[in-house]
């Protein structure tokens, strides 16, 4: 199957590379075309517009920064919806709002095109090593058609539901649970430090016992080392995902008290001038509030 991949940041480039490596015929497009070169060298075709990339492809995968970027690429002038064949499928892999995903599902359906959502868990290093996890949702027959490509880009595909936005809600929920871990650890580390207990001892105990999960190991270490620069996942993106979760909660009338606490952590971090840091820098707030943080970033 011929496929297209739109959006060649660190994540997208790695994922498109995996498609090539697994034998897919891939057309790539990126807003700033320089990012296409390595993939073209590896055998990809390049396209001048999303519409052109989509033409003739059985599936088009998008990995863009946010709602605005995806809306422009999908529905804007020369967008992929213009070029996508009837019966072909757009698979949105970005972390976007539940509302936009629903809007795209409707827009593509109106044109006789398929649509699925398949956001991923994992950082760029994981993407390159085919270690991503995919949370996919959409009509079963649509998902079946794109499953080989999704499997080529990940270590495992989980199906979340038959409505595409289901996967977006799950992705936002997952990122939220990560931030809950950051805040929880930040609070106990601050408390321990103030009480004269070495936070690293808590880290070792917890990550080797009840909380022996990757997320505690990764983020616990980032917090202990204040290893927030350069960012693995930038703080404003974390705030964006928090906002999208809260918006989903509002649309569904579902209160989310932990998410609101985290919102204020993100905002206080921005106010402290930390927009350039990793999102785990929100852990500094609990330390500062307890008087054990550095006051400068």
The residues in 79-138 that bind a copy of itself, with binding defined as CB under 8 A, are 98, 121, 133, 135
Position 243 contacts a copy of itself (CB under 8 A): yes
Residue 81 or 287 having the CB closest to a copy of itself: 287
Position 271 contacts a copy of itself (CB under 8 A): yes
Number of helical H runs and strand E runs in the chain: 14, 9
CA-based torsion, 248, 249, 253, 254: positive or negative: positive
d(CA 203, CA 198): 9
Residue span 32-61 as binding mask against a copy of itself, x where in contact by CB under 8 A, dash where not: ------------------------------
Touching a copy of itself, residues 2-31 (CB under 8 A): none
H helical segments located in 22-158: 37-41, 50-54, 67-75, 80-83, 98-110, 124-128, 140-152
Crossing angle of helices 199-207 and 164-194, in 10° steps, is 140
For the beta carbon of residue 225, count every other beta carbon within 10 angstroms.
Answer: 10
Position 295 contacts a copy of itself (CB under 8 A): yes
Closest CB 170 distance from a copy of itself, rounded Å: 6
Residue 60 or 91 having the CB closest to a copy of itself: 91
- For residue 292, CA distances in Å to 88, 192, 261, 284 come to 56, 10, 20, 9
Annotated catalytic residue: which of 171, 194, 201, 295? Answer: 171
Closest CB 165 distance from a copy of itself, rounded Å: 8
> Known catalytic residue: 131?
no
Closest CB 186 distance from a copy of itself, rounded Å: 9
Residue 145 or 265 having the CB closest to a copy of itself: 265
Pick the binder of a copy of itself from 147, 267, 276, 297 (CB under 8 A): 267
**Do residues 105 and 163 make contact, with C-beta atoms less than 8 angstroms apart?**
yes
Residue in this structure with the two tokens 């959502």, named with its chain if needed: 117
Touching a copy of itself, residues 157-216 (CB under 8 A): 158-161, 163, 165-166, 169-170, 173-174, 176-178, 180-181, 183-185, 187-188, 190-192, 194-198, 201-202, 204-206, 208-216
Find the part of the chain contacting a copy of itself (CB under 8 A) among 12-20, 42-50, 61-69, 154-162. Answer: 154-162
Residue in this structure with the two tokens 């993100």, named with its chain if needed: 266
Provide φ and ψ at 28, rounded to 5°.
Answer: -115, 155
Q: Which residues contact 218 (CB under 8 A, 6 or more apart)?
A: none
Q: Which residues contact 291 (CB under 8 A, 6 or more apart)?
A: 194
Closest CB 87 distance from a copy of itself, rounded Å: 26
d(CA 98, CA 101): 5
Q: Which residues contact 289 (CB under 8 A, 6 or more apart)?
A: 190
Closest CB 265 distance from a copy of itself, rounded Å: 8
Find the part of the chain contacting a copy of itself (CB under 8 A) among 15-23, 40-48, 105-113, 258-266. Answer: 258-266
Positions annotated as catalytic residues are: 171
């Amino acid at each position: 199957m011929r496929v297209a991949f739109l959006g060649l940041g660190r994540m997208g480039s790695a994922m498109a590379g995996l498609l090539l490596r697994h034998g897919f015929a891939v057309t790539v497009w990126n807003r700033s075309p320089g990012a296409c070169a390595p993939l073209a060298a590896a055998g990809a075709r390049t396209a001048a517009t999303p519409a052109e990339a989509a033409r003739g492809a059985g599936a088009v995968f998008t990995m863009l920064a946010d709602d605005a970027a995806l809306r422009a690429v999908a529905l804007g002038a020369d967008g992929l919806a213009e070029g996508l064949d009837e019966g072909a499928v757009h698979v949105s892999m970005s972390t976007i709002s539940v509302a936009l995903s629903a809007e795209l599902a409707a827009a593509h359906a109106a044109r006789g095109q398929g649509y699925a959502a398949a956001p991923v868990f994992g950082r760029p290093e994981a993407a390159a090593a085919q270690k991503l996890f995919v949370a996919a949702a959409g009509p079963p027959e649509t998902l079946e058609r794109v499953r080989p490509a999704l499997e080529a880009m990940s270590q495992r595909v989980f199906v979340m539901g038959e409505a595409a936005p289901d996967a977006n809600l799950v992705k936002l929920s997952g990122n939220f649970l990560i931030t809950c871990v950051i805040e929880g650890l930040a609070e106990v580390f601050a408390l321990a430090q103030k009480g004269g207990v070495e936070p690293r001892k808590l880290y070792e105990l917890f990550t080797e016992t009840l909380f022996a999960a990757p997320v505690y190991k990764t983020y616990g270490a980032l917090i202990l080392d204040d290893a927030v620069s350069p960012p693995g996942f930038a703080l404003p993106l974390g705030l964006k995902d928090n906002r999208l979760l809260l918006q989903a909660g509002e649309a569904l009338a579902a209160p989310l008290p932990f998410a609101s606490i985290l919102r204020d952590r993100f905002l206080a971090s921005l106010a402290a001038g930390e927009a350039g840091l990793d999102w785990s820098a929100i852990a500094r707030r609990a330390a500062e509030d307890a008087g054990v943080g550095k006051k400068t970033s």
